[in-house]
């Protein structure tokens, strides 16, 4: 049985997934042990704290879930769950007609969270990665900006299938791999005063990863990897007793995720 909130101060073992994957990439904002955050840098000029405005859920095959105006909030993925079996499998946070929406495709479901946006907050357009790209998508400077996943799609059958937002050499990047060649991901960046290093969780753990207090902070997914072949397979950011936690479940094979708080 998985024990939630147990031994959360211990460093995590490295996530073990097949092939040469994102664990080999440099991440200059995450220099501590896996599962713990590096010290939070003060970046840029934005100082507005991002308080949660609540969570929204979607389950296939329902219509898109409306999550409120794009004028006063940003929205991002907090839970991804289900059977990612083909190019049509997806979960997606998107903007349309001045509102945020959560939707997907295939036998999937998701939870997204929104956070209050200050008047001087700058939100980027969506950046895109598609299977077959030789190089990662460059999303611009890490200074005063944090980036996170807003869409994942395609087959996730093993550790060879992954999508990740990461920082290297002073820039944010979006990259991944897809064994069947049908995977993809999208991400956005937003101006913030501070952001954490990456927190990690994998299904090799029997506890969820503590990510600090919820007050004045939200957290978003930056990495998804592994085999998602049923509604029992998921990755998840959730709050409990005033803290954020990162966890998930795998019914058959390794599942892993990462997140940042800001």
CATH 2.60.40 fits 22-261, yes or no: no
Question: 218 — phi, psi (to 5°)?
Answer: -125, 165
Residue 41 has pLDDT above 50, yes or no: no
The residue ranges of DSSP E strands in the chain, in sequence order, are 52-59, 65-69, 73-83, 90-96, 99-105, 107-116, 127-130, 137-141, 145-153, 157-168, 171-177, 184-191, 199-202, 209-213, 219-227, 229-240, 243-249, 255-261
Between the CA of residue 223 and those of 46, 51, 150, 159, 187, what are the distances in Å?
A: 25, 22, 11, 12, 11
Question: 254 — phi, psi (to 5°)?
Answer: -60, 135
CA-nearest of 215, 231, 230, 234 to 52 is 215
For the stretch 148-196, pLDDT in tens is 999 999 999 998 999 999 999 999 999 999 999 999 999 999 999 999 9
Domain ranges of the chain: 22-261
pTM above 0.85, yes or no: no
Between the CA of residue 1 and those of 4, 6, 165, 245, 253, what are the distances in Å?
A: 9, 12, 31, 17, 16
pLDDT confidence tier of residue 32, bands split at 50, 70 and 90: very low
Average pLDDT score over the chain: 85
Chain centroid to CA 12: 18
């Amino acid at each position: 049985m998985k024990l939630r909130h147990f031994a959360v101060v211990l460093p995590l073992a490295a996530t073990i997934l097949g092939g040469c994957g994102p664990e080999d990439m440099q991440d200059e904002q995450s220099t501590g042990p896996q599962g713990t955050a590096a010290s939070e840098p003060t970046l840029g000029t934005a100082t507005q704290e991002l308080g949660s405005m609540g969570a929204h859920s979607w389950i296939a095959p329902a219509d898109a879930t409306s999550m409120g105006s794009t004028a006063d909030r940003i929205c991002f993925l907090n839970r991804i769950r289900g059977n990612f079996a083909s190019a049509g499998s997806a979960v997606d946070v998107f903007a349309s007609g001045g509102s945020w929406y959560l939707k997907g495709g295939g036998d999937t479901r998701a939870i997204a969270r929104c956070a209050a946006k200050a008047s001087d907050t700058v939100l980027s357009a969506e950046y895109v990665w598609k299977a077959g790209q030789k190089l990662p998508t460059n999303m611009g400077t890490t200074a005063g900006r944090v980036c996170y996943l807003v869409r994942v799609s395609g087959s996730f059958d093993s550790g060879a299938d992954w999508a990740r937002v990461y920082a290297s050499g002073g820039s944010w990047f979006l990259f991944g791999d897809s064994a069947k060649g049908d995977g993809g991901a999208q991400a956005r960046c937003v101006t913030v005063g501070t952001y954490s290093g990456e927190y990690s969780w994998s299904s090799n753990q029997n506890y969820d990863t503590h990510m600090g207090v919820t007050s004045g902070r939200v957290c978003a997914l930056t990495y998804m990897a592994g085999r998602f072949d049923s509604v029992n397979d998921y990755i998840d950011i959730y709050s409990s007793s005033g803290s954020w936690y990162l966890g998930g479940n795998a019914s058959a094979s390794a599942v892993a995720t990462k997140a940042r708080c800001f």
